[in-house]
Amino acid sequence: SSRLQLQRLLYHYAPQKLHRVEPLLLDHAGREGRLVRSLLEKYGPDVYSSPMEIRLIGIRHLTPANSCYVKVYLNGEPVLRSSQQSGSANIAFSPSDVKNAAVVMLDDPHHARVRFKVAQQRYLQSTTISFAELRLGKMVAGSLNECWIPLFDSHSGEIGRLGVTLRCNGFICRKKEPAKCEEAERDVVSLLRKYKPEALPFLQPLITEAGSAAKAHAEIRRRVAKRPVAATVYVCVESLSIMELDFSHPSQLHGISPTRLALLQQENEGMEYAVTASCDHEEGSVIWSEQVKGSGAVIRLDIPEFSRCEDHRLTIAVRQAQGACFLSRSGSRQRSSSRGGRSSFSQRKASQQLLPPTELGRVVVSLRGLLTGSLYDAAERVTLPLVSFTQGPAARRKLQQERIQQRRQPSSSSSAFLPPCNVVGNITFSVRLPAFERAPSWLQLNLFEIEKHLAIDRACIRYYEERIRDILAKHEPQGLLDLHYTLYECDVAHGTWSLSLCDRVRALLQRLGVVEEAATTVPIDRSM
């Protein structure tokens, strides 16, 4: 009857309209056949069940490269078991092998669940390496739907991608949607890895339920985050240069041959560092090394809603990773753990491992300035010096003696005492937002305030920023710690940068008593 046919069409193609079956029949009384024909033209053929072909393509970048097989389940029932594949990082399933493909009957494509399990046979037992689930709601009818499904291990790390093709005339979609954005999928992976790692095998169904790749991250974040999140910010560590030996002081290099010094520098390049980023009660860390630099060293920060009134001070700190070898100030090679040795030496090493890693340096920047499009491009790389207040034993003893002497002989300058510090290296990083998302207005500098007196001039601001940084690096390195934050939150944010930056340079030179050669200044139109 027309009622049953209408119910089947809506159930397969538009289940959200099933409650309108009776109203539609009443509105088209006497013209039910015309209604059904119009829906057939709109949605597709009326089928009870359709054959669906499932074919395995291969596995990319499988880690570790073990021999394995793939088992496929449709709605919990096993429908396919591939042949055993030899251990390789990239596996290609032979199309001529009948075990790598199957044809099954599909009754309900909208609610069907396909699960893929990658397992290995060892000692007459089957061990699951990974599994992933797939929903068929977005598959296109009559077309070859190729999918590469990410596989995750028990530690939430991606170990490869499984490729499959699906073909069925009973699929719901009649036209192919735009290609899925890989950046949006990567955002959802980082979200689930942080809040709900057990849901990573269901990545594709979650994105499908969200409606589109553009809305997936924001929608899933709203459901799984432990507190309301105003914006997600990624801090990407592009490069890190730590100078453990101060080459400006020959005394530290005394007794080290050039060959040995070159060897120590080469070993130092293989070190691992723990980089921590914190802002507005949110903190994240990542292990950085030359092998994972770039896209592999990304820190995710979810800025909470209640931090609207915070100062949005982004602090990036670098520590030595536990167990990594490093160069001491004396130039000797050390390790945080060792084997053998005397009991006292072992106990001393064990006690050192219990201590938190020493901070090497940090820098404080303005997150609002980095997210303001008029001041920085999207995901623009920024290189800033790392300032360290960590001193060696000799420097600490000298500092303690100076403090004792100041207490005995107080002077006007004692209240303004600053601990000695130095620049230990540079860090290059970028700040970006998730795909298809924008930062809220309160997480950016007010463009109207910035241009209150003069149209914004990015080149002029950066010229004075570099000039101030060069002066401080030579004469007052402790001022480099929060220079970026102070400059953008005070001078630039309040619109006084056209005058205050030049005045800041002049006052700095006068206070330090530094006489510099005449520098080429950037012309500024002060008539506005």
DSSP of 178-216: PPPPHHHHHHHHHHHHHH-GGGGGGHHHHHHHHSSHHHH
Instruction: For the chain, count helices (H), then strands (E).
Output: 14, 19
- What value does the mean pLDDT take over residues 183-204? 95
- What value does the mean pLDDT take over residues 46-54? 83
Is 2.60.40.150 the CATH number for 50-177?
yes
Q: Which of the pair, 175 or 213, is modelled with greater confidence?
A: 213
Handedness of CA 423, 429, 430, 434 (dihedral sign): negative
Neighbours of 456 (CB within 10 A): 17
In whole angstroms, give the CA distance from residue 286 to residue 297: 6
Domain 230-410+419-439 classification at class level: mainly beta
Can you say how many angstroms the Cα of residue 43 is from the centroid of all Cα atoms in its chain?
A: 40
Average pLDDT of the chain to the nearest whole number: 81
Global pTM reads: 0.77
Are 252 and 454 a contacting pair, CB within 8 Å? no
Are 288 and 237 a contacting pair, CB within 8 Å? yes
Backbone angles phi, psi at 420, to 5 degrees: -65, 145
Highest mean pLDDT among 127-131, 249-253, 418-422: 127-131
Q: Which of the pair, 385 or 45, is modelled with greater confidence?
A: 385
CA-only gyration radius of the chain, Å: 31
Looking at residue 335, its pLDDT comes to: 37
> Strand pairing of 158-168 and 50-60?
antiparallel
Q: Does residue 148 have a pLDDT over 80?
A: yes
Q: Is-same-fold flag (50-177; 230-410+419-439)?
A: yes
- What value does the mean pLDDT take over residues 172-187? 78
- What value does the mean pLDDT take over residues 173-185? 76
Closest CA to 496 of 476, 524, 470, 472: 524
Residues 6+ apart with CB under 8 A from 93: 56, 57, 58, 70, 82, 83, 85, 100
Residue with tokens 């050390």: 334
Looking at residue 7, its pLDDT comes to: 84
Q: Which of the pair, 338 or 8, is modelled with greater confidence?
A: 8
Are 107 and 49 a contacting pair, CB within 8 Å? yes
Are 284 and 236 a contacting pair, CB within 8 Å? no
Looking at residue 271, its pLDDT comes to: 78
**Domain residue spans of the chain:** 2-43, 50-177, 230-410+419-439, 445-528
Looking at residue 512, its pLDDT comes to: 83
Query: What pLDDT, in 10s, does the model give residues 361-400?
Result: 999 999 999 999 999 999 999 999 999 865 555 554 554 5
Residue 330's pLDDT band, with cuts at 50, 70 and 90, is: very low
Q: Does residue 528 have a pLDDT over 90?
A: no
Q: Which of the pair, 427 or 391, is modelled with greater confidence?
A: 427
Q: Which of the pair, 102 or 402, is modelled with greater confidence?
A: 102
Helix 182-195 vs helix 203-210: angle between axes, to the nearest 10 degrees? 110
Looking at residue 324, its pLDDT comes to: 42
Residue-by-residue DSSP string for 456-500 = --HHHHHHHHHHHHHHHHHH-GGGGTTHHHHIIIIIITTT-HHHH
Residues 6+ apart with CB under 8 A from 325: 267, 270, 271, 333, 334, 335, 336
- What value does the mean pLDDT take over residues 148-168? 94
